[in-house]
Amino acid sequence: MRVSSWVWVPAVATLLLLPLAAPFTLGAPGLVARPPLAFGRTSVWADSGRRADGNLLLGGMRMGASEVVQGNLPRYTNFIGRLKVAGKDASPIIGLFFVVACFGWAAVLYPAIGLCYAFGKAFDQKRRRAVDWIVHWWAKLTCLTILYKPKVIGTENLPPQDEAVMYIPNHCSYLDIFTLSGFLPRAFKYVSKIEILRIPLIGWAMQAAGHIAIRRMDKRSQLQTFKDTVECLANGNSIVTFAEGTRSASGRLMSFKKGPIKMAIKAKKRIVPISICDLHRWMPDSAITPLGIPRGVTIKVHPAIETVGRDENLVLNDVFSAVNGGLPEFQQADDDTLFSPGAAASSALSTET
């Protein structure tokens, strides 16, 4: 089959932007870049009191959450700088690089999404696997085009392709969605705040795939989301839900809500904890686009946790401990955040992607 010339549009466009992005991608995370000596070639890097791997040099002491985030972001101070878009940080080069890749591949793949949606409505209404497959490649190609490829550890812990499970990862970046969709080798649906599903192209694709929406402040919507998620699991779909309920502004793991645990127990499905490591450095909660091309990002898949016949507090504690234990120290929860059955997190279903 002859490949359409449109396939090369996002790749060529992003390659044209790549030389401009070089000064943003030369250093290790946690280091501060002074203005480059030769644009696109050499930069002088200043160690800001932190190791190149992002660990803080504090003599064994741990900093507060807000300090950790600021200390581990890639701070690029070359002449191009950053922009503020709708109150959020944005990189004028890397941000454009990412947007061109995302919407360029959307232009290529959206006709296929439409065809797969029609096929799913007719022959696979409850799962819509064909749309899931196209969305997976959209996310993966977008990430690969901007030279981002996370390392995936623990794939042997993934369930069989035909087993529906609840995936519960930590959440501290919008880029979590592209990372999981593109590189976790399983089909799944998200439980997402309804605002995400209203975003042009991205939200439309999620609706076509049958992802589940929630109005976070509407208790009636939360109850309906609970029912829809249990039904979705029963229909053979795996679910990704962020049990923290929102993105962590600090990058540290926050307490888990009970809603996702209750849904998995109700549906009698196993839970697979996932740790997403180091991604918040490159696109924190304060950013609307990546601030650099992500490096050193790891997805850790932990062994599945049984839910049938178990107390929800114990299951929640096991899931929280697994996710927390897989994170680097500066992303691990503060001691007073760790879940304990006697101080249970809110049972609300509020979730955000």
Which of residues 34, 64, 94 is at a domain's end?
94
Please give the structure tokens belonging to residue 342.
Answer: 């006697």
Q: Mean pLDDT over residues 24-53, rounded?
A: 33
239 belongs to a structural domain: yes
- For residue 203, what pLDDT band results from cuts at 50, 70 and 90? confident
Same domain, 187 and 333: yes
**Cα separation values, 54 from 37, 176, 325, Å:** 24, 19, 17
Residue 166, strand partner residues:
239, 271
Same domain, 56 and 173: no
Same domain, 223 and 86: no
77 has a pLDDT exceeding 90: no
What confidence score (pLDDT) does residue 154 get?
98
Average pLDDT along the chain? 78
Same domain, 131 and 278: yes
Is the CB of residue 340 less than 8 Å from the CB of residue 286? no
DSSP SS3 for 215: coil
Q: Which of 50-64, 78-92, 288-302, 334-348 has the highest mean pLDDT?
A: 288-302
> How many structural domains compose the chain?
2
For residue range 220-232, list pLDDT tens digits in order.
Answer: 888 999 999 999 9
28 belongs to a structural domain: yes
Residue 299, strand partner residues:
152, 276
227 belongs to a structural domain: yes
Same domain, 239 and 331: yes
State pTM to two decimals: 0.76
CA angle 52, 58, 62 (to 5 degrees): 105
35 has a pLDDT exceeding 50: no
What confidence score (pLDDT) does residue 17 get?
47
Query: Residue 276: which CATH number?
Result: 3.40.1130.10
Q: Where is pLDDT greater, at 68 or 104?
A: 104
Same domain, 80 and 115: no
Which of residues 64, 94, 124 is at a domain's end?
94
Return the DSSP state at 74: -
Same domain, 315 and 219: yes
Q: How far apart are CA 309 and CA 19, in angstroms?
A: 56
Domain residues for 36? 5-94
Same domain, 50 and 83: yes
Name which of 7-21, 179-193, 281-295 the model is least confident about: 7-21
**Residue 6 CB contacts under 8 Å (≥ 6 apart), including other chains:** 107, 108
**Cα separation values, 98 from 11, 42, 197, 265, 310, Å:** 11, 23, 20, 38, 43
Same domain, 120 and 260: yes
Q: How far apart are CA 240 and CA 164, in angstroms?
A: 11
- For residue 54, what pLDDT band results from cuts at 50, 70 and 90? very low
What confidence score (pLDDT) does residue 340 get?
43
What confidence score (pLDDT) does residue 82 get?
66
Residue 85, strand partner residues:
88
What confidence score (pLDDT) does residue 353 get?
61
Same domain, 184 and 75: no
Which of residues 94, 119, 135 is at a domain's end?
94
99 belongs to a structural domain: no
Same domain, 165 and 83: no
Return the DSSP state at 80: T
Same domain, 208 and 244: yes
What confidence score (pLDDT) does residue 71 get?
42
